Structure 1
């Protein structure tokens, strides 16, 4: 009997040792994340442009939108952070994740159960002189149960739950950053639509003035009916652009209203022009900083950390579980006094056959982690692309805007000269119409180039992770 007992003891000890060695390793960020990091960003325009940019950069502050110098934009950002429903839903997800983590942590603590009972009995003796007797009894018991976490399964489950809380926090930050970027982008689109409307209306007024002149010349026989029809067509084409621009303005404003948590009806911005804003200058942090700065990348990594902890929990389930329990019972009977009893017990449980269910859970957890590693690395590459694209857009849009501003100035001068010559009779209407059309297109393109510069700045702020409080930079 003793040799058998020794053999069983040695077998149990071996299981304990093997289980302790298989409880998992601490999480480490995938090496491939750093391996994919370039040393620096490509700078459009060469080293000279890079030096000019660096000499005038400003840091990405938490309230980065204030760099644009718009009090109205500041107010809208404040309202969006307070009233946007997507952000509010993300905050609720944080509360849910914390509640789930609390449930998991509670499973690591002992459980205490309290039970009580009371009874009253009465007996009668029949016959002459019979008597009646009664007794009262009560009992109170308390049981404390605790499961040992020998293999670290419960600790791993808690780690996974905390990682999912982090995931929900980063998710909220990502939603907030996206909302902020959309507020800024739609505000700038609304201002650009107002600028384009102003240009279209100015050109419409100028075209109508030319039409009046053509009508006078036509009445005097200086111009033919063809020239009159051509100018009327030009006026109508310019007029046709105005409803489209008004619709674009309305769409940008209704989008803003929804982002601010307001009904879109009758919502309008106060700003009138992109010219009232200032364009901030900023440069990107080193590429490796994105791993800490971008909430979407941090969110992907938090999900990966949770999956890593899930593997530890799944592996721990393969090994025996030990549960300790202690019970104390106090009771009493009115006729015989009170009593007290206590007990201490330990139980060992091990699944011998489950058809491969527990092994399948380990395999599933490991495969899930492999999937999330790939998703994490993809999010890193996406972040690198978005920053590089935003840097390129900021540089190229600046160059394009400068060229289009010069083109707009030249078209304005060409139109002035053509108008003077037409009035003096030294130039035909066709040349004036062509310069009129070119002027409108050049001025409209200049405004769109201005919008592209502001949009590129917003996209760069977003690609860099904005200025949320969790940033490492």
Structure 2
């Protein structure tokens, strides 16, 4: 009968005592198609920001990619994750160090006279812990997954920043168009004010008519001031997004009419698993959490440490080489529940990572459905307002002509002019919303196809 020594049998018995954690399972996407039908494609599907036919937009997006603060912070986190991975890899390698010691011994012959025996010991020391149960490998797996998550986080932040640049650019262009519309309306209102004053002098109009038109001119001027302020705020937002100082930033000039509305193929719901960087990051964090669980479980199991050292001793006599080798097999016996607590923390973090992943999936699907609906409805509004705009222009022109000829009163003209300006403003906003809807769709689907 073979008997194990207690120093060996006790650590090996700990293998059977290590608890088995209950890990959560990551869900999958069950939806096969979109509830909201994708809008029909007008041409070849776009694949970059350049497909909006605006070199200024492409330049701003490239500048934001290089200089945006949030993207730079995400890059720094990747560097930190690489350092953590290097530390995890180093944990599996032997540790080599050098030592030196100097001793002063007794005098030769044991007397009070003669030189002292000086002893110098120098040599390397090496130690290595064998990864018997995969604890170090689990640490490396967790570190690699955290590095992957950091890379996906950077991609997700970059996509959001690029989308914000595009939206701010479209806002800036729309505000420029709206200011131009207000300027034209203001010129018409001032011309009408001049006509009314002439008619007042001729007795064909009253001071009430002149006062009402003067109020209308001031109202349009106030509206223009609001639009100018909003455009300045949008330019400042572009400066911050592209890493520029607002006082030094000059927003590029752009008009909505110069932009092209690109088509975009949304793909299928399951494509989000591979295309959305935030989903990929959440998935990587599940792998990191599972590595932490395995590492925490390995703490219950024995650890084998091998060590060795070689010392060269030089004294008054000949040089001596002394080499020692050793091995220690250690296992925890009583730790006050520390290992159990660490395992529970790691197990709970894995469950949390799975639920976070599930929440990210649900958010991604919701974002995609919202973006598809926004794209379709924004196009419907743009078409309706484009048809309404032509009618509003004809009505305003007819009302002005009739007023000059004396066939219509001032209120009719004011109502027609206000209606035209309102429709023109709404049409500009609809065009902007249609462009922004494409940006939202690109973001919801995880970026441009590659």
Q: TM-score, normalised on structure 2?
A: 0.93
Q: Tell me what 2:136 maps to.
A: 154
Give deviations 1:162-199, integer Å, cap 9, x for gaps.
Answer: 11111111111111111111111101100000000000
Q: Tell me what 2:45 maps to.
A: 58
Give deviations 1:333-376, integer Å, cap 9, x for gaps.
Answer: 23x21222222211122222222111111111111111111111
Which residue of 24, 28, 37 maps to 1:33?
28
Verify: 1:70 aligned to 2:69, yes or no: no
Q: Tell me what 2:89 maps to.
A: 105
1:222 match: secondary structure: coil
Which residue of 59, 69, 73 maps to 1:85?
69
1:147 match: secondary structure: strand
Q: Tell me what 2:157 maps to.
A: 175
Q: Tell me what 1:223 maps to.
A: 205
Change (3 A) 1:147 1:266: closer
Change (3 A) 1:158 1:411: same
Q: Tell me what 1:324 maps to.
A: 306
Q: Tell me what 2:167 maps to.
A: 185
> Is residue 297–residue 379 contact of structure 1 (8 Å, CA) maintained in 2?
yes
Q: Tell me what 1:47 maps to.
A: none
Change (3 A) 1:452 1:236: same
Q: Tell me what 2:356 maps to.
A: 375
2:446 match: secondary structure: coil
Which residues of structure 2 form unaligned runs of 5+? Answer: none
Verify: 1:342 aligned to 2:323, yes or no: yes
Q: CA deviation at 1:142?
A: 2.1
Q: Tell me what 1:357 maps to.
A: 338
CA RMSD of aligned residues (A): 2.5
> Is residue 135–residue 299 contact of structure 2 (8 Å, CA) maintained in 1?
yes
Q: Tell me what 1:299 maps to.
A: 281
Deviating more after overlay: 286-295 vs 349-358: 349-358
Deviating more after overlay: 108-117 vs 396-405: 108-117
**How far apart are the structure 2 equivalents of 1:15 and 1:438?**
83
> Is residue 138–residue 333 contact of structure 1 (8 Å, CA) maintained in 2?
yes
Deviating more after overlay: 187-196 vs 260-269: 260-269
Q: CA deviation at 1:141?
A: 2.7
> Is residue 45–residue 265 contact of structure 2 (8 Å, CA) maintained in 1?
yes
Verify: 1:163 aligned to 2:162, yes or no: no
Which residues of structure 1 form unaligned runs of 5+? Answer: 45-49
Change (3 A) 1:221 1:85: same
Q: Tell me what 2:412 maps to.
A: 431
2:40 match: secondary structure: helix
> Is residue 122–residue 132 contact of structure 1 (8 Å, CA) maintained in 2?
no
Q: CA deviation at 1:268?
A: 2.7
**How far apart are the structure 2 equivalents of 1:375 and 1:187?**
33
Verify: 1:42 aligned to 2:32, yes or no: no
Verify: 1:114 aligned to 2:109, yes or no: no
Q: CA deviation at 1:11?
A: 5.6
Q: CA deviation at 1:17?
A: 6.4
Give deviations 1:136-155, integer Å, cap 9, x for gaps.
Answer: 43212322111111111111
Q: CA deviation at 1:131?
A: 6.1
> Is residue 105–residue 116 contact of structure 2 (8 Å, CA) maintained in 1?
yes
Q: CA deviation at 1:76?
A: 1.2
Q: Tell me what 1:201 maps to.
A: 183
Q: CA deviation at 1:313?
A: 0.5
Q: Tell me what 1:284 maps to.
A: 266
2:137 match: secondary structure: helix
> Is residue 113–residue 144 contact of structure 1 (8 Å, CA) maintained in 2?
yes
> Is residue 29–residue 361 contact of structure 2 (8 Å, CA) maintained in 1?
no
Which residue of 427, 443, 447 maps to 1:446?
427
**How far apart are the structure 1 equivalents of 2:125 and 2:213?**
97
Give deviations 1:118-148, integer Å, cap 9, x for gaps.
Answer: 4566848999xx9634544321232211111
Change (3 A) 1:28 1:278: farther
**How far apart are the structure 2 equivalents of 1:424 and 1:218?**
15
Q: TM-score, normalised on structure 1?
A: 0.89
